[in-house]
Amino acid sequence: MRLLIADDEENLAHALKVVLEDAGYNCDVCFDGNSAIQLVLQEMYDGLILDIMMPEKNGYEVLSMIRKKKIDIPVLLLSALNEVDDKVIGFDLGANDYLSKPFSTKELIARIKVMLKENIMDDSYLQYQDIILNKKEETLSCKNTKYQLSKYESSILSLLIRSESNRVPIWLVIEKVWDNRVNVNPNTVSLYVSYLNRKLLALSSKAHIEINEENIELCVNI
């Protein structure tokens, strides 16, 4: 999994990078709020370790901005501030967890594991390669760009991602998505697959959906 560490204490940021990479994570570092926002918008991270006291934009401002842009990255706030009100502000802005400095690296790693596990286990999110389907909002995102889906598009993509082979028979799509309505046929499925492929292309995703007479399949562009 890939993490971004944003902390203006460069020595600490680099030390955390070493510790977390030893724990099996891939890490990037930055040292100010503007850089953190830019990287989150441009890259795809599984989690953000965010210091509150940073130049240009503080951690609260960074968190507020990425949540306003509907970016659902899990965020662990780091701070020397240890007042209850400071923690409440962070959680109100959308932080997933809060850790006061100084802290042990064991506790940091444990909190990151829990935070990322909770995010993965949230049934409202499904991931395949570089795309994330938000079932509650019926949105499809890739590299922090998001498209709204129709109810049928979301249901088709959910079936494909959940399938162990990422392949689903067309008859099953009609049964699960449209409840075997009389006026729905394979041409209907083909139409909605074309809609999804247009959105995947617009997102510059590696994924696309192939369709034949019997099945639809979620594939990766080579």
Per residue in 101-136, pLDDT (tens digit) is: 888 998 899 889 888 876 665 567 888 999 999 988
CB 197 within 8 Å of CB 209: yes
CB 12 within 8 Å of CB 99: no
Q: What is the pTM of this model?
A: 0.56
Considering just the CA atoms, what is the radius of gyration of the chain in Å?
20
Angstrom distance (rounded) from CA 122 to CA 107:
23
Q: pLDDT tens, 62-104?
A: 999 999 887 889 999 998 876 778 888 999 999 998 988 888 9
Angstrom distance (rounded) from CA 222 to CA 214:
23
CB 138 within 8 Å of CB 151: yes
Mind listing the domains of the chain with CATH numbers? Answer: 2-121 (3.40.50.2300), 125-220 (1.10.10.10)
Q: What are residue 44's phi and psi, to 5 degrees? A: -120, 115
Helix-strand-coil percent breakdown of the chain, rounded to 5? 45, 25, 30
CA 178 from chain center: how many Å?
28
* Pair type for strands 47-51 and 75-79: parallel
